[in-house]
Structure 1
Amino acid sequence: METPSDENNKIREPFLSSSPSKGGFRTLPFILATEAFERVATIGLSPNMIVYLRREFGMETAKAANVIFFWSAATNFTPIIGAFIADSYMGKYRMIGFGSVLCFLGMILLWSTAIIPQARPYCDQFNTICEAPTTPQLLLLYCSLGLISIGAGGIRSSCMAFGADQLDKRNNPENTKTLQSFFGWYYATITFSALIAVTLIVYVQDTLGWGMGFGIPVMLMFGSAVSFFLASSFYIKLKAKTSLLTGLAQVIVASFRNRRIELPSHATNEVYHIRKGSMLQVPSEKLRFLNKACVIKDPQEDLTSNGDASNPWSLCTVDQVEDLKALIRVMPLCSAGIMMSVNVYQSSFMVIQAGTMDRHVTPNFEIPAGSFSMFMMISIVVWIPFYDRIALPLASKIKGKPVRLGLKQRMGIGLLCSGSSMVASAIIEYTRRKIAIEEGLSDEPAAVVHMSALWILPFYILGGLAEPFNGIGQIEFCYSELPKTMSTIAANIYGFGTFISNLVASFITSMVDNVTKRGGESWISSNMNKGHYDYYYCLLAGLSMLNFIYFLACCKAYGPCHGDDKNQAEKSKKGDYESIDDS
């Protein structure tokens, strides 16, 4: 027999099918497998993609890097669009299914460029001479990458939230603990998938060729789609509802439409449109021009009989206005993390660099150049539990009181680690280039110098430390500073910054290539022994230092964080439990 709370829950979150046999832990293996296979497939293509574009399509290093930057940017941006469409129109189930099909088709097209000779230009591998790719060949390549990005966006935008839908029982006292456990398994699965991608898939590409190396991701993506649809009848499928992004857009439009009205000198709750049950009666004085979006000009015209706005694109609630203000306030601090991601994306050049160095670990085994990124992932996986379970408890024991780094401190440490990784890369590349010249290899870009590739590990290790400090710190910062109703946006701000960082990295690469090659050889020449990648890394290190100064200025302007206030954190935690009980 259903309880009243069960009935209310169904009214608030209607199901496409409300059978009690739906959802639960049995659906999670299918959902987790969907994104795990997708991650292995797409991430497995990334490390060696710059090698593929240079060898098989005859692209210059700078152009190939820009293709990868734009592809990564699209892959990081499409989940934001996918989340909006899933929440507002399609629903998560249809979005994941749509993404799985598109990603599979994109991988088939990319695979065809490797197995069909006519789908790529002729290249003489011995003389490293390639014909220029034709327009249809480039169109096929770009279409394949575009479909993969759109498909991956559909899957990544909704998979985690769709899995949480299967477990979210708000009348269950263990609900919070269950969801936390799911999120932990989700991230563990994703990280493990990435490790498999940069080791096994890259190894197959290096040893068995591009046909097999691209064919395995096709099969994995097919398995991803099949595993998802197999459990279709068991899923809880929530209907799409209006997205919070729509509400934020309404504030921008309404404030522009009302730009000519005068704000009242004394704010009262009769002047502003207030959401029913809201604690906010008047908007704050910060970013005051946005307050015009919630000013009631004529109650007869602006409001309906039940108190709602007649036109939500002309009149918004105080809550909507304050949500947008909170989002605008966190953006400057979050934008400082863009430079960290720019540095991380230099790993494409590291693949080329590692290919010119001795990668042997034993006399009979060498690490594939594209697999060196696994050291960054290992650093992340090792550091997170070490910091949480060993470093903090040990520091607390030594100090005799609880010790924790503030959110802005962690974000700043991440930026310093990222800048240090570029300094280390510049020193290592300067040494590698010097050895290559001394050995007479200036005109042999593919020649291996007598220097161990393990010297480039500082880049990956420092980059691996930067990600947990700045990346996770930024996500926690957004969760603590933004209203609880904006938790979805808080989770996507970091991804949006990653999208911007790809565009910034592409811009920097293009500018450096165009400017430096006017005086002769480009700093980022296809021949690393004639170029000056060490100068390029020094430039990025300098930009990282300027970015850190910008970050400090943003910290001072922002003021204290809620997440660093113990009393505020306790209050927030209590509020969370009360909201769960009340549901």
Structure 2
Amino acid sequence: MFNKMEAPLLDEMVEGAVDYNGHPVCRFTSGGWRSASLIIGVEIAERFAFYGASSNLINFLTDQLQQSTARAAKNINAWSGTAALLPLLGAFLADCFLGRYRTIIISSALYVLGLGLLTVSATLPSLGISACQQTEKFLPCSPNPVQVILFFFSLYLVAFAQGGHKPCVQAFGADQFDGQHPEESKAKSSFFNWWYFGISLAGFLTVNVMSYVQDYLSWSLGFGIPCIVMVFALAIFLLGTRKYRFGNRGDEENPFVRIGRVFITAIRNWHVNSSEIAHEEETHGLLPNHNSKQLRFLNKALIVPNNLKEDGHACSINEVEEAKAVLRLIPIWVTCLAYAIVLSQISTFFTKQGVTMDRSIVVGFEVPAASLQCFTGLGIIISLLIYDRILIPIARKFTGKPSGITMLQRIGFGMLLSIISMVIAALVEGKRLKTAQEYGLVDLPKAIIPLSIWWLVPQYILFGVADTFTLVGLQEFFYDQVPSGLRSIGLSLYLSILGIGNFLSSFLISAIEKLTSGDGKQSWFDNNLNKAHLDYFYWLLVVLSAVGLAAFLFSARTYIYNKGNTTKEDDRGRMIKQDPCVEFK
């Protein structure tokens, strides 16, 4: 059909992009803000649905499913960890098989199904009166086993769905801009700012609206509204199909295959001596100060294995550098895990603290404890604007860098802020426990302590500011430093930090609970928070975070940027250009 239409001018065509039918696209009738705005709207709706289902889980598990505080926190950490790791699978399927567009549609459908089943699970207790409810008027009854099974199945289905949705939507939105076009390149940079602003705004609205609905109206409605919102998100996404730009890879080899071949070839050449490696480095034009001096064992992949001399071939220098770029990310990834452990406390213990405090604003109205999470979003929104409009221009004058500060400096500063936030959290929790003792409320777990919930606001806001530096910095860092064919994987790598961090938090809680609750001792996570010692736990996290920050700074000082766009080869595979940049030096 395309060849029957009037062909657009060559300078109006977008190189490397096609429409839904596989035809070349015109710059002025496809993509751009017209498409990206729809995709941002889809992400805002998806985040509203996700936060609506997850932000108040600690209260659902302890109140509706009668779980202990420690068990509920561990279950939430395990689920959050799974939800943050699954984007790796979703990104792999999208990059290698389904494509981003199809992955988004399939994931959205599963999202709706999961949220729908979650609504049903919350409705089950109201469908009938159990024998326990008929005989026990005052004591809590155990939840229906069917409800528990359906609830967790639905919850993990939501996690699986967002695992496909999360890494693809942002990458697909960025695909709507041509990075080689001056004006669209500027718009693409602005897109990432508006993207994070949008999801922060969604989180801010969600925890205010949905926490009230779930605490004071019903959990069925509290899960049903996110389900309806997700239906609208899918409809909005489909509306833009004819205007979207789709990537056209052509016959480009799968990046997983390229990187895997480098490691396999290097392993096969494990016996190669240093003189042979030096010869190959000289042949490929590697300079003494080249970043290939790091991870030099992978340079063995430049040599054809002896047992494959006839039908085998050596890897190119660009393929070796791709593999090194991925491997260099590991120390940064590992040292950021402490930050993720701290971050997981916002939706668990912070919320349970708030339940025990004075939440009244006016007579007859109390602030839902989970709604304080909106201050994290507020901190992100305000600090993003200040960072972009004030701090970066000032930093540029001192550093001469277009970005003001480097990505790793941005991440490290956010980690420092998270440590300060945990110090504040520990001090506030100590004051809460002291107030409970002063008023004789230690043995009354349901009593409201005469300490305003607003004491928790500073730690929430400071965490939001920390996210502006660390999470946005990690997102940019992993997107920028992975090979170009693995952008979805790059965006999911920083999410996997949060996933592993949640699992580590769950493990840490289990270990501490076991160590502190034996021989008749009071657990740090006692169901009666007035007897617990969350302050000790917070101080422990301060120490772990400080160790993590020190390890991060050490790794960052030796990290060399992957300058993929400046690395080229001539027709003989010789390196002709390289401009490495070392951070934190």
Q: Aligning the two structures, in what range does the TM-score lie when normalised by the shorter sequence?
A: 0.7 to 0.9
Secondary structure of 1:373's aligned partner: helix
CA drift of 1:267 comes to 3.3
Say which is worse superposed, 105-114 or 474-483, in terms of deviation. Answer: 474-483
Contact 1:280–1:318 at 8 Å: present in 2 too? no
The equivalent of 1:581 in structure 2 is none
In structure 2, do the counterparts of structure 1 residues 261 and 133 end up closer, same or farther at CA, with 3 Å as the change threshold?
farther
- In 2, the alpha carbon distance for the partners of 1:356 and 1:270 equals 65
TM-score (norm 2): 0.83
User: Which protein, 1 or 2, shows the higher relative CO under an 8 Å CA cutoff with sep ≥ 6?
Assistant: 2
Contact 1:104–1:218 at 8 Å: present in 2 too? yes
- In 1, the alpha carbon distance for the partners of 2:104 and 2:48 equals 16
Say which is worse superposed, 241-250 or 429-438, in terms of deviation. Answer: 241-250
Contact 1:44–1:217 at 8 Å: present in 2 too? yes
- In 2, the alpha carbon distance for the partners of 1:326 and 1:569 equals 9
In structure 2, do the counterparts of structure 1 residues 13 and 503 end up closer, same or farther at CA, with 3 Å as the change threshold?
same
CA deviation profile, 1:192-239 (whole Å, cap 9, x unmatched):
211121111112112212111111111111111222223334433446
Aligned pair 1:457/2:467, yes or no?
Answer: no
In structure 2, do the counterparts of structure 1 residues 95 and 365 end up closer, same or farther at CA, with 3 Å as the change threshold?
same
The equivalent of 2:219 in structure 1 is 210
The equivalent of 2:163 in structure 1 is 153
- In 2, the alpha carbon distance for the partners of 1:166 and 1:484 equals 16
CA deviation profile, 1:7-61 (whole Å, cap 9, x unmatched):
8935x86864316455454434443332221110111122210100111111111
In structure 2, do the counterparts of structure 1 residues 459 and 259 end up closer, same or farther at CA, with 3 Å as the change threshold?
same
Say which is worse superposed, 496-505 or 400-409, in terms of deviation. Answer: 400-409
Aligned length: 550
| RMSD, matched Cα | 3.7
CA drift of 1:388 comes to 3.3
The equivalent of 2:318 in structure 1 is 319
In structure 2, do the counterparts of structure 1 residues 224 and 533 end up closer, same or farther at CA, with 3 Å as the change threshold?
same
Aligned pair 1:138/2:138, yes or no?
Answer: no
CA drift of 1:450 comes to 0.3
Secondary structure of 2:175's aligned partner: helix
Contact 1:121–1:137 at 8 Å: present in 2 too? no
Contact 2:286–2:292 at 8 Å: present in 1 too? no
Contact 2:177–2:187 at 8 Å: present in 1 too? yes
CA drift of 1:538 comes to 1.4
Contact 1:198–1:374 at 8 Å: present in 2 too? yes
In structure 2, do the counterparts of structure 1 residues 250 and 499 end up closer, same or farther at CA, with 3 Å as the change threshold?
farther
TM-score (norm 1): 0.83
CA drift of 1:430 comes to 1.6
Q: Which letter does structure 1 place at the counterpart of 2:198?
A: T
Contact 1:87–1:242 at 8 Å: present in 2 too? no
The equivalent of 1:9 in structure 2 is 15
Say which is worse superposed, 97-106 or 113-122, in terms of deviation. Answer: 113-122
Contact 1:113–1:120 at 8 Å: present in 2 too? no
In structure 2, do the counterparts of structure 1 residues 221 and 266 end up closer, same or farther at CA, with 3 Å as the change threshold?
closer
- In 1, the alpha carbon distance for the partners of 2:175 and 2:239 equals 18
- In 2, the alpha carbon distance for the partners of 1:98 and 1:335 equals 32
- In 2, the alpha carbon distance for the partners of 1:360 and 1:408 equals 42
Secondary structure of 2:517's aligned partner: helix
Secondary structure of 1:450's aligned partner: strand
The equivalent of 2:207 in structure 1 is 198
Q: Which runs of 5+ in 1 are unaligned?
A: 304-308, 310-314, 576-583
The 5 A counterparts of 1:352-391 are: 352-391=352-391
- In 2, the alpha carbon distance for the partners of 1:230 and 1:165 equals 17
In structure 2, do the counterparts of structure 1 residues 227 and 552 end up closer, same or farther at CA, with 3 Å as the change threshold?
closer
- In 1, the alpha carbon distance for the partners of 2:50 and 2:319 equals 37
Contact 2:122–2:151 at 8 Å: present in 1 too? no
- In 1, the alpha carbon distance for the partners of 2:544 and 2:243 equals 51
Aligned pair 1:18/2:29, yes or no?
Answer: no
- In 2, the alpha carbon distance for the partners of 1:164 and 1:183 equals 8
- In 2, the alpha carbon distance for the partners of 1:481 and 1:87 equals 17
Q: Which runs of 5+ in 2 are unaligned?
A: 1-6, 568-576, 578-585
CA drift of 1:387 comes to 2.9
In structure 2, do the counterparts of structure 1 residues 448 and 236 end up closer, same or farther at CA, with 3 Å as the change threshold?
same
User: Quick one: which of 159, 177, 184 aligns to 2:186?
Assistant: 177
CA deviation profile, 1:233-278 (whole Å, cap 9, x unmatched):
4433446765434433333333334434555435345998x8xxx9
The 5 A counterparts of 1:119-134 are: 127=138, 129-131=140-142, 134=145
Secondary structure of 2:440's aligned partner: coil
- In 2, the alpha carbon distance for the partners of 1:394 and 1:31 equals 32
Contact 2:421–2:462 at 8 Å: present in 1 too? yes
Aligned pair 1:441/2:441, yes or no?
Answer: yes
Say which is worse superposed, 434-443 or 444-453, in terms of deviation. Answer: 434-443
User: Quick one: which of 241, 257, 261 aligns to 1:250?
Assistant: 261
The equivalent of 1:42 in structure 2 is 50
Contact 1:120–1:137 at 8 Å: present in 2 too? no
- In 1, the alpha carbon distance for the partners of 2:406 and 2:33 equals 35
The equivalent of 2:298 in structure 1 is 290
Contact 2:13–2:24 at 8 Å: present in 1 too? no
Aligned pair 1:338/2:358, yes or no?
Answer: no
- In 1, the alpha carbon distance for the partners of 2:273 and 2:127 equals 63
- In 2, the alpha carbon distance for the partners of 1:14 and 1:212 equals 39
CA drift of 1:359 comes to 1.6
CA deviation profile, 1:147-177 (whole Å, cap 9, x unmatched):
101111221121122223334385x442212
CA deviation profile, 1:522-577 (whole Å, cap 9, x unmatched):
11112101211111111111212222232333244x16x659xxxx99989xx9xx
- In 2, the alpha carbon distance for the partners of 1:142 and 1:285 equals 49
Aligned pair 1:506/2:517, yes or no?
Answer: no
CA drift of 1:425 comes to 1.4
The equivalent of 1:109 in structure 2 is 117
- In 2, the alpha carbon distance for the partners of 1:213 and 1:488 equals 31
Contact 1:326–1:481 at 8 Å: present in 2 too? yes
Contact 1:480–1:562 at 8 Å: present in 2 too? no
- In 1, the alpha carbon distance for the partners of 2:391 and 2:14 equals 45
The equivalent of 1:306 in structure 2 is none
Say which is worse superposed, 158-167 or 528-537, in terms of deviation. Answer: 158-167
Q: Percent identity?
A: 33
Contact 1:355–1:446 at 8 Å: present in 2 too? no
Secondary structure of 2:23's aligned partner: coil
Q: Which letter does structure 1 place at the counterpart of 2:383?
A: W
CA drift of 1:486 comes to 5.8
User: Quick one: which of 75, 79, 103 aligns to 1:71?
Assistant: 79
- In 2, the alpha carbon distance for the partners of 1:236 and 1:478 equals 23
Secondary structure of 2:527's aligned partner: coil
In structure 2, do the counterparts of structure 1 residues 321 and 416 end up closer, same or farther at CA, with 3 Å as the change threshold?
same
- In 2, the alpha carbon distance for the partners of 1:8 and 1:373 equals 42
In structure 2, do the counterparts of structure 1 residues 121 and 189 end up closer, same or farther at CA, with 3 Å as the change threshold?
farther
In structure 2, do the counterparts of structure 1 residues 239 and 78 end up closer, same or farther at CA, with 3 Å as the change threshold?
farther
CA drift of 1:105 comes to 0.6
CA deviation profile, 1:294-317 (whole Å, cap 9, x unmatched):
3213675345xxxxx5xxxxx533
Contact 2:179–2:188 at 8 Å: present in 1 too? no
The equivalent of 1:80 in structure 2 is 88
